[in-house]
Amino acid sequence: MIEKRNFYINGTWVAPSAPNDFEVINPSTEEPCAVISLGAQADTDAAVAAAKAALPGWMATPVEERIALVEKLIDFYQSRSEDLAQAMSLEMGAPIDMARTQQSGAGVYHLANFVRAAKSFQFDRPLGDHAPNDRIIYEAVGVAALITPWNWPMNQITLKVGAAAIAGCTMVLKPSEQSPLNAMIFAEMMDEAGFPAGVFNLVNGDGVGVGSRLSAHPDVDMVSFTGSTRAGTAISKSAADTLKKVHLELGGKGANVVFADADEKAVKRGVLHMMNNTGQSCNAPSRMLVQRPIYDQAVETAAEVANVVSVGSAQEEGRHIGPVVNEVQWTKIQDLIQKGIDEGARLVAGGTGRPEGLNKGYYVRPTVFADANNQMTIAREEIFGPVLTMIPFDTEEEAVEIANDTPYGLTNYVQTQDGARANRMARVLRSGMVEMNGQSRNAGSPFGGMKQSGNGREGGLWGLEDFLEVKAVGGWAAE
């Protein structure tokens, strides 16, 4: 049993103010794998106070030095990538091979992209040739509360910490209590890299306790949150009393629009993308809209692909999907699969219950529904499991209408060989991101959504700007 009962505050590991133990469950076995302490108000206040005290010195540190520390962090990160992968596999169920490549690898990727963006970013610039005595200065927002989820832990931690650190913000990180071990390893790396005391602080806790206190804290200038839309709404309301800046990266119900002229691998690619990370991705292509001439074949292909997706323990090597994170999520997914059946969608793969041969662990059968419509619950709600909903359409206009008929707006996908149509779709789909024909976005591309998928952007230049305030100066004197 791993024990992680201390918090990282003001450059040192400190015991919690009061004992409040929480068992972290290995979702592959349903057995406890670690015990952590959940923070109380006193712990949260101490972390915020440390960040507030460190802010003036960190803001005044030349940006070149802040960038150099992030580069040093990358070195330590790479040296401990296996530790991170093992932790994430154990605590949130990412298959170990996938944890080594995608889950752990995401951190280095984002940190390197921030370094690249920062080296070309003008933090202090003239307004323009028309106003030689006006300056635009980008400075840190201030003390930033970073609240991260369990599904892509290092992806989200590095997207927030890397940008905040380079921008000159000081931080309090509250990782998900479901997957805290990787965050504590990350705190060790921040310490080893030599970030000044108070710049980075970590307090474990749940949303009701530490999360709520951070959202309402008068000395927190910004909250950057990734998680459910429900929690994002609560954070926004809590933060409103102090008018702090709020960045939200929330849920999604992405449409994958497959036209009749899509390439022959489009359907298979879409199913496998949906099943990646056991469907626990906010940008998963969970609604597959298929043009009617190829719809029947697409359904057949999707069922075949889903039926050969293997499910197994996260600690086993190989290409398979693992369990979902916990019993609450497993039960929710089971209820939604049953809801799809009850509402009349045609089940063509998977279904309720655990996969054959797995009687323990939070495993879900890779599931595909066909003949759904966009008013069904499985087409409206974010399932956050390996469940794909297929909907037929006739015309491009109908596809756009169905795709946009959702409260979410994170990522949509388009599959067509008609370049002009692909570009038309990209312009009219109401989402923060659009990916076409299996082409993912490149390094430094901003991640974020519209509508109830949140606000703000993460990654690269846009991620840096989210942690910066714009200061306009008139009458700048020549030095």
Residues known to be catalytic? 249, 282
d(CA 88, CA 91): 5
**Residue that is written with structure tokens 């390893």 in the block:** 185
Classified as helix, coil or strand, 186 is helix
What is the 8-class DSSP label of residue 227? S
CB count in 10 Å sphere of residue 318: 11
Q: Find the angle CA(253)-CA(104)-CA(356) to the nearest 5 degrees.
A: 60
Residue 374 tokens, joined: 């966009």
> Taking a C-beta distance cutoff of 8 angstroms, is the pair 443, 421 a contact?
no
Q: How are strands ordered across the β-sheet holding 454-455?
A: 12-14, 7-9, 200-202, 170-174, 143-147, 222-226, 245-249, 454-455
- For residue 458, give the nearest of 282, 287, 335, 329 by alpha carbon: 282
Burial class (CB in 10 A: 0-12, 13-18, 19+), 329: buried
Strand order through the sheet with 21-26: 2-4, 31-37, 21-26
Annotate 318-359 with DSSP letters as a single string. SS-B---S-HHHHHHHHHHHHHHHHTTPEEEE--SSPPTT--
- 430: phi then psi, degrees, rounded to nearest 5: -90, 80
**Residues 420, 425, 428, 429, Cα dihedral to 10°:** -160
* Residue bearing tokens 């056991």: 278
Which regions of 117-231 does DSSP assign to beta strands (E)?
124-128, 131-140, 143-147, 170-174, 200-202, 222-226
**Angle, nearest 10°, between helix axes 153-167 and 104-119?**
20
Tokens 């794998």 label which residue?
33
On whether the CB atoms of residues 235 and 225 are closer than 8 A, the answer is yes
The contacts found for 119-122 with CB under 8 angstroms, 24 or more apart, are 119/67, 121/461, 121/464
Provide the strand spans (E) within 154-199.
Answer: 170-174
